[in-house]
């Protein structure tokens, strides 16, 4: 007999990692930018968190370092994309490489030492904050406040936003900083939550890309993003179960990705009919 409740809860830590990074990216994309560098920010975040948490033995310092790592890469993004108007896709992709490269150098300096891990209670607290409180707050800010309105207007039409009196540069800088801090913190949580403080090269690979997918799957809405993150978390938890049912481990690994493609196809088709639209500056057809 399959324990459904266990499955529904099991993927929550992974869903939290995805949701945190994705909610940050959501803010950035609603401001009319796109940052493919999420993967690098999350990875660098987990590495710097590991390095600092191992050397200080402090959980808080680890989280702060993770956030700082994300912000550092966000500053590079700001310099190039907001400052120099360079191409966003290339900048983001280069940040992926930069984050993974620097992350491996810094993370390997921990030489396998364990960083402090979150207690069960601490982990639940973070999960509650990220999966329940954060989307609610973000929803209120984005859809029920003037600041949210101006931010979203940037994602629809930059010139119109400027006419509204929006300070385009300042708003975008703030959005990128939020995205970087969220991704870096997600990396730190990944290390000290689901990974129990053990950093190893390549472990955090792929989560940033999935988080980027989470934004699209959640159709650029805070509630949708958390729902999508949760779906992916559950799928992640189901994978070992498929193996127990006799599916080859490597093939079971592919199942979540196939489900995402199918879900995205259905969702895009459905939402377009209902009239829900992504930010025009990010995704136009």
Partner 1 sequence: MRIALEPRGPTEKRNPLLYGLAGLAAGFALSILLGALTPVGVTGVARALYVNLSEPRFWLLSLPYFAPIAASAAGLALAYRAGFITIGSEGQVILGAVVAYGLLYFMLSQLHPVLALAVAMAAAALAGALYGLVVGALRVYLGANETLVSLMLNYIAVALVNYLVAGPWQSGPFTRTEPLPDRFWISGLASAIVTTVFIVLLEALYVYTRLGIAVDSISRARRAAETYGVDPGRAILVVAALAGAAAGLGGGLYMAAEQHQLLSLGKQGLGYGYMGILAAWLAGLRPAATIAAGLLITLLYNMFVSLQLQGIPASFVLAFEAVIVLSVLASTTLSRYRVVIRHG
Structure tokens at 234: 């559950």
Assess 211 for contact with partner 1 (CB under 8 A). Answer: no
Q: Which of residues 27-66 bind partner 1 (CB under 8 A)?
A: 36
Assess 141 for contact with partner 1 (CB under 8 A). Answer: no
Q: CA-CA distance, 244 to 170, in Å (whole number)?
A: 52
Name the residue nearer to partner 1 (CB basis): 174 or 267.
267
Q: Which stretch binds partner 1 (CB under 8 A): 11-19, 154-162, 185-193, 251-259?
A: 251-259
Name the residue nearer to partner 1 (CB basis): 245 or 250.
250
E strand map for the chain: none
Q: CA-based Rg of the chain, rounded to a whole angstrom?
A: 19
Assess 95 for contact with partner 1 (CB under 8 A). Answer: yes
Assess 240 for contact with partner 1 (CB under 8 A). Answer: no
Query: In 10 A of CB 170, how many CB atoms?
Result: 10
Name the residue nearer to partner 1 (CB basis): 74 or 76.
76
Among 93, 113, 241, 242, binds partner 1 (CB under 8 A): 93
Q: At what angle do helices 168-192 and 38-56 cross, to 10 degrees?
A: 50
Among 38, 41, 71, 96, binds partner 1 (CB under 8 A): 96
Assess 136 for contact with partner 1 (CB under 8 A). Answer: no
Name the residue nearer to partner 1 (CB basis): 38 or 177.
38
Q: How far apart are the first and last CA of the chain?
A: 47
Among 9, 61, 113, 205, binds partner 1 (CB under 8 A): 205
Assess 280 for contact with partner 1 (CB under 8 A). Answer: no
Among 140, 258, 277, 280, binds partner 1 (CB under 8 A): 258
Among 6, 7, 8, 90, binds partner 1 (CB under 8 A): 90
Name the residue nearer to partner 1 (CB basis): 196 or 265.
265
CB of 65 within 8 A of CB of 71? no
CB of 73 within 8 A of CB of 28? no
Residues, the chain: 285
CB of 44 within 8 A of CB of 51? no
φ, ψ (nearest 5 deg) of residue 127: -65, -40
Query: In 10 A of CB 130, how many CB atoms?
Result: 25
CB of 232 within 8 A of CB of 15? yes
User: What is the secondary structure of 65-123 as a DSSP string?
Assistant: HHHHHHHHHHHHHIIIIIIS---HHHHHHHHHHHHHHHHHHHHHTTTTPPPP---HHHH
Name the residue nearer to partner 1 (CB basis): 37 or 118.
37
Assess 80 for contact with partner 1 (CB under 8 A). Answer: yes
Name the residue nearer to partner 1 (CB basis): 116 or 156.
156
Structure tokens at 67: 């956030």
Assess 19 for contact with partner 1 (CB under 8 A). Answer: no
Q: CA-CA distance, 65 to 53, in Å (whole number)?
A: 8
Assess 97 for contact with partner 1 (CB under 8 A). Answer: yes
Residues of the shown chain interacting with partner 1 in the complex, contacts defined by CB under 8 A: 36, 76, 79-80, 84-87, 89-91, 93-98, 100-106, 108, 201-202, 205-206, 209, 212-213, 216-217, 248-251, 253-254, 257-258, 260-261, 264-265, 268-269, 272, 283, 285
């Amino acid at each position: 007999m399959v324990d459904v409740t266990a499955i529904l809860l099991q993927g929550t830590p992974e869903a939290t990692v995805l949701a945190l990074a994705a909610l940050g990216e959501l803010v950035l994309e609603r401001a009319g930018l796109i940052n493919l560098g999420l993967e690098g920010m999350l990875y660098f975040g987990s590495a710097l968190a590991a390095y600092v948490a191992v050397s200080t033995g402090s959980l808080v310092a680890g989280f702060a370092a993770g956030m700082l790592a994300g912000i550092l890469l966000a500053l590079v993004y700001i310099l190039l994309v907001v400052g120099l108007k360079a191409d966003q896709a290339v900048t983001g992709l280069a940040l992926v490489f930069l984050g993974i490269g620097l992350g491996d150098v810094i993370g390997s300096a921990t030489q396998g030492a364990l960083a402090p891990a979150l207690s069960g209670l601490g982990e639940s607290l973070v999960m509650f904050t990220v999966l329940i409180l954060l989307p609610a707050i973000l929803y209120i800010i984005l859809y029920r406040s003037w600041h949210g309105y101006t931010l979203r207007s940037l994602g629809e039409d930059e010139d119109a936003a400027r006419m509204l009196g929006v300070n385009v540069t300042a708003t975008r800088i703030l959005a990128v900083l939020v995205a970087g801090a969220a991704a870096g913190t997600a990396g730190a949580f990944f290390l000290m939550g689901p990974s129990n403080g053990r950093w190893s090269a390549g472990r955090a690979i792929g989560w940033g890309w999935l988080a980027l997918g989470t934004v699209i799957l959640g159709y650029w809405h805070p509630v949708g993003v958390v729902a999508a993150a949760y779906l992916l978390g559950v799928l992640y938890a189901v994978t070992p179960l498929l193996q127990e049912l006799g599916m080859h481990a490597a093939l079971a690994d592919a199942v979540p990705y196939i489900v995402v493609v199918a879900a995205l196809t259905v969702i895009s088709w459905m939402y377009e009919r209902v009239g829900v639209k992504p930010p025009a500056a990010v995704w136009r057809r």
